[in-house]
Chain A
Amino acid sequence: MEITTLPSDSDPFAVRIANHLQSHLEAVGVDVQLTPENAGDLAQQVLLNHDFDIYVGQFPYTRPPDPDAFYPLFRSTFDSELGWQNPFGFTHLTCDDLLEAQRAAGGEERQQEVADLQRLLARTQPLTPIVAPDVLTGVRTDRFTGWDADDRSPSLDSPTHPYNLLQLEGVDDQPQPLRLVVVDDRIINNRNPISAAYRQESSLLDLVYDSVAFDTGEEYIPWLARELSWADGEGPPEVDIRLREGLLWHDGQQLSAFDVGFTYEFLQDTSRGRAVRPIPSERFRGRVSLVEEVIVRNAHELTLRFGETSQAVARRALTVPVLPAHIWRYREEVERPRTRAGRTTAALTTSNGSAIGSGPLRFEEADGDTIEFSLFEPHFLWRSRTPRSTDDATTDGPRNGSESSTGGSGSASNDSRSADENGSNGGDGGSGDADRRDGEADGPRLEAPEVPSDGRFAPPPEIYEGRPAFDSVTVRTVSSANAAVALLSAGDVDATATNLSPEAAASVAEESALERIEHRSNAFYHLGFNTRRQPLGNPNFRRLVAQLVDKPTLVEEAFEGYGVPAASPLAETDWVADSLRWDDGTDADPEVPFLGSDGELAVEEARERFRSIGYQYTEDNELVSQIR
């Protein structure tokens, strides 16, 4: 049997868990090999190729998710799909029923369904939650302050969570480049927001691609939407989305409701009908599966109709990244690469190098080990409220490129356009050539956005309004967490955006301009089992493997106290089932307690348990299903 995980350079903790499991499996007579794979290869083997036995990894949600996040993860019908769509190959009909039921139910009833679901998952162990880590981040405070997310509301996990960066404060009045360092180098070569092998939550691409709404953890705030109105009454939920006016893509094209509608249909089937069976996106699959029908009313308005679900669940669909139709609709070609367990499309295999989105950050260039983003000047977070004003063109004029206006002619056309607009109901005159201006050499050609009928743009979400303290973001990739800390100490970067081991983090706090920030991550470490393979298809066997893991000891030794043991995948959310809360008194897993005490595996007892579920031991104490 093989345990696959990240090498210590990439993740200091996963290997320690893998070592622990390996030695205990060997003690009970199971021959195990530990195979380290880099982040991209690991994701490919587990998520795209389903070629693994057991992996040790982190849960894909760094923030506590809504329980509906489990829908694609454990639903049997997603077994053959790629990405975080049931990579375990878990097929359990009761589980399917519960996943459906929690979607449809509301209030206390839903709580009950979710608790039942957790108990079922704990009993059958398609994945074994181990530790929710307290992640350490090293930051410099001599250029930017306000890193600690716990000091503000909403608090979005790590200090380097993309949206938290928007709320940093500058030490100088002048905006400075913000410099981050990561160990994971995937963003250098691939900027595809819907690829499971290259993306996970909280990537900087979250700021390159906007979504209709943004989940702060406390509420869903309209983002690209100016207004969201949910239909009252019985029956499945339905939402009318009215977009902000004057939205632009990074290449200067206008973002319209057609793009939004396209996105939902495209993520549901990236082959756009070319394949016999839809080939959905590798990411956001659960969210787009909520949407039954997309009705684009006009360039600003569309309606989403949902299936049998509640509004609380349906709104999750509003957080998928909106893609530019004029780029992605040409990526519908069906492919069948050797490295994937099923068919896929160009949309999922493309590296999406130019990363044209509509978000606050615009991709500039990637070079060797560094990638750079600039602020997207026309973004709604910091553009002027009134599109007609020309006096503020130098700082935040909505329709100017990354530098100041080109002067006389630009202002003149602005004026004439505004006048036009007032008379003619904000029509489609926005693409007139007269309104175009040439940006810098590689700057975008921006079309002037059309103006709302009342002459004012809708205000941006209050908490993120205004220009951030930085004018560009540079991410440097290094080969290990220690190297990241070395760069931080040397003053070459402002923050580490990677899992630091406590040893590496220890050296962070020794200088005055350095600070170490700790936050509890929902991305718990876990074992994932490939239940397509024997003996891992046997829930009794999985339960015993889970019982070989001494979670409290791992917290103390592998994590050096930076974490808490977990018995449910919802342990760090408000949804955790009462019976699966970690009991600090016994310090044992309520469902799959460790077979041993004081960190020592009770080998004989463990072997007896394996015998009791139908396995046997050879003369050499090797575990076999049957002695030949």
Chain B
Amino acid sequence: MLPGILLEVAVVVVSLCIVGAVTIVGRTRLTALRTELKPRLRESGPYLGVLIVVLLINSLVRDSAQAISGDLGWNITGSIEAIEGGFVAAIQSFQTDLLTMYFSNIYVFGYVFLLVFPLLAYAALSERDTFRQVVTAYSINYFVGLLLYIIFVAYGPRNVGAAENLLYALDSNPEYQFLTAAVNTATNVFPSLHTSLSATVAIFAFKTRESYPLWFGVATLLATSVVISTMYLGIHWGIDVLVGLGLAAFAVSVATRYVD
């Protein structure tokens, strides 16, 4: 079941990237990229290397980190719920079938596209800094996220009856959970990496709005939708999202300060 859904995501994201390449990046930059891609990637190699290492660490230590977290981690689910109460349930009160379908697709497909497309778009820019900064910001997000997941154990609202479980609702998309289960575990909700990475992309889209005015609009819309979807679907608490936004701001400021 997992290979099927992975293929589906890959096909959708590649298609979207092609559309985005044509409409957002534009022919001129694409033609230049054809010859420039290799040298540009080589020059940004160390940054990409760091990201790959972080992602590798993330996937390699996930199980053992999970075990450490289970033994030593601080279960803050109850505290989060005590602080924010019925916030997520209030968001879910606007539930309609159409919204559920929209946000489920955003959460799975829109999010992956949102993360992948900037790599393409910024590689096509003649200046190198933005690409490197984005890659660095991703690395920081993942790394800090992993640390926080080890320190804090928290289940999302859907797991404590504080919200409905809409993403995995059977009549819509039972197969999505094979994807999310392959990427993460149910106790890793604090903070929301969906939020922090989407916000990171949106901030860079704002910074590059002169080069990519259309992308600024698209990224803002997508990022906002992803952020709302994490709560609407019952996966994250409002506090996970807030901390996710903070993490994005931190990652972007560190990346832009030290990478140029």
A96 contacts B by Cβ under 8 Å: no
Contact, CB under 8 Å: B178 / A483: yes
A9 to B187, CA, bound (A): 11
Contact, CB under 8 Å: B174 / A37: no
Q: Which of B82, B177, B185 has the most CB of A within 10 A?
A: B177
Contact, CB under 8 Å: B71 / A339: yes
Give the A-B contact count at a CB cut-off of 8 A. 77
Q: Give the segment of A239-247, A417-425, A474-482, A592-600 that binds chain B.
A: A474-482
CB-defined contacts of B77 to chain A, threshold 8 Å: 34-36
Proximity bits, A460-490, B CB within 8 Å = 1, else 0: 0000000000000000001110110111001
Residue in A7, A483, A506 whose CB lies within 8 Å of B160:
A7
Please judge, given known A-B contacts A8-B165, A9-B159, A483-B177, whether A33 and B170 are in contact too, CB under 8 Å. Answer: no
Residue in A19, A34, A479 whose CB lies within 8 Å of B186:
A479
Residue in A2, A8, A503 whose CB lies within 8 Å of B170:
A503
A1 to chain B, nearest CB (A): 10
Contact, CB under 8 Å: A8 / B159: yes
Residue in A16, A479, A506 whose CB lies within 8 Å of B181:
A479
A138 to B72, CA, bound (A): 37
A504 contacts B by Cβ under 8 Å: yes
CB-defined contacts of B186 to chain A, threshold 8 Å: 7, 9, 479
Residue in B70, B160, B178 whose CB lies within 8 Å of A15:
B160
A37 to B76, CA, bound (A): 11
B26 contacts A by Cβ under 8 Å: no
A322 to B230, CA, bound (A): 50
B194 contacts A by Cβ under 8 Å: no
Contact, CB under 8 Å: A18 / B161: yes
Docked complex: A494-509 residues within 8 A CB-CB of B: 503-504, 506-507
Contact, CB under 8 Å: B1 / A16: no
B143 contacts A by Cβ under 8 Å: no
Proximity bits, B68-96, A CB within 8 Å = 1, else 0: 00110001011101100000000000000
Docked complex: A72-94 residues within 8 A CB-CB of B: none
A455 to chain B, nearest CB (A): 53
Contact, CB under 8 Å: A2 / B78: yes
CB-defined contacts of B171 to chain A, threshold 8 Å: 507
Q: Which of B158, B161, B165 has the most CB of A within 10 A?
A: B161
Closest residue of chain A to B70, judged by CB?
A: A41
Contact, CB under 8 Å: A8 / B78: no
B83 to chain A, nearest CB (A): 11
CB-defined contacts of A507 to chain B, threshold 8 Å: 170-171
Contact, CB under 8 Å: A34 / B159: no
A459 contacts B by Cβ under 8 Å: no
CB-defined contacts of A68 to chain B, threshold 8 Å: none
B206 contacts A by Cβ under 8 Å: no
B214 to chain A, nearest CB (A): 38
Contact, CB under 8 Å: B155 / A7: yes
Contact, CB under 8 Å: B161 / A478: no
B250 contacts A by Cβ under 8 Å: no
B6 to chain A, nearest CB (A): 15
A390 to B160, CA, bound (A): 60
Please judge, given known A-B contacts A8-B158, A38-B187, whether A33 and B78 are in contact too, CB under 8 Å. Answer: yes
- In this complex, how many residues of chain B approach chain A with their Cβ under 8 Å: the count is 26
B252 to chain A, nearest CB (A): 32
CB-defined contacts of A9 to chain B, threshold 8 Å: 159, 186
CB-defined contacts of B177 to chain A, threshold 8 Å: 479-480, 482-483, 486
A201 contacts B by Cβ under 8 Å: no
Contact, CB under 8 Å: B170 / A504: yes
Interface of A is mostly: mixed
CB-defined contacts of B109 to chain A, threshold 8 Å: none
B129 contacts A by Cβ under 8 Å: no
CB-defined contacts of A37 to chain B, threshold 8 Å: 75
Please judge, given known A-B contacts A7-B155, A33-B81, A40-B70, whether A482 and B174 are in contact too, CB under 8 Å. Answer: yes
B36 contacts A by Cβ under 8 Å: no
Residue in B75, B155, B175 whose CB lies within 8 Å of A486:
B175
A482 to B159, CA, bound (A): 13
CB-defined contacts of B71 to chain A, threshold 8 Å: 339
B168 contacts A by Cβ under 8 Å: yes
Docked complex: B149-197 residues within 8 A CB-CB of A: 155, 158-161, 165, 168, 170-171, 174-175, 177-178, 181, 185-187
CB-defined contacts of B161 to chain A, threshold 8 Å: 8, 15-16, 18-19, 34
CB-defined contacts of A227 to chain B, threshold 8 Å: none
A265 contacts B by Cβ under 8 Å: no
CB-defined contacts of B187 to chain A, threshold 8 Å: 38
A492 contacts B by Cβ under 8 Å: yes
CB-defined contacts of A19 to chain B, threshold 8 Å: 160-161
Contact, CB under 8 Å: A480 / B78: no
A480 to B161, CA, bound (A): 15
Q: Which of B79, B155, B175, B177 has the most CB of A within 10 A?
A: B155
CB-defined contacts of A8 to chain B, threshold 8 Å: 158-161, 165
A135 to B124, CA, bound (A): 57
Q: Which of A16, A35, A487 has the most CB of B within 10 A?
A: A35
Residue in B79, B81, B82, B159 whose CB lies within 8 Å of A7:
B159
CB-defined contacts of A483 to chain B, threshold 8 Å: 168, 174, 177-178, 181
A36 to B189, CA, bound (A): 13
A490 to B174, CA, bound (A): 11
Closest residue of chain A to B156, judged by CB?
A: A7
Contact, CB under 8 Å: A35 / B78: yes
Contact, CB under 8 Å: A492 / B1: yes
CB-defined contacts of A38 to chain B, threshold 8 Å: 70, 187
Closest residue of chain A to B80, judged by CB?
A: A33
A453 to chain B, nearest CB (A): 53
Contact, CB under 8 Å: A482 / B168: yes
A486 to B169, CA, bound (A): 11
Please judge, given known A-B contacts A7-B186, A8-B159, whether A490 and B1 are in contact too, CB under 8 Å. Answer: yes
Contact, CB under 8 Å: B75 / A35: yes
A46 to chain B, nearest CB (A): 14
CB-defined contacts of B168 to chain A, threshold 8 Å: 480, 482-483
CB-defined contacts of B1 to chain A, threshold 8 Å: 486-487, 490, 492
A13 to chain B, nearest CB (A): 10
A504 to B174, CA, bound (A): 10
Docked complex: A7-48 residues within 8 A CB-CB of B: 7-9, 15-16, 18-19, 33-38, 40-41
In the assembled complex, 10 residue pairs joining A and B whose CB atoms fall closer than 8 Å, in A order, are A7-B159, A7-B160, A9-B159, A34-B77, A34-B160, A483-B174, A486-B1, A486-B178, A492-B1, A504-B170
> Can you name 14 extra interface pairs (CB under 8 A) apart from A34-B77, A480-B177?
A2-B78, A7-B160, A15-B161, A18-B160, A19-B161, A33-B79, A33-B81, A34-B78, A34-B161, A36-B159, A37-B75, A38-B70, A486-B1, A506-B170
Which 4 residue pairs across A and B have the least CB separation, nearest first? A33-B78, A7-B159, A486-B174, A19-B161
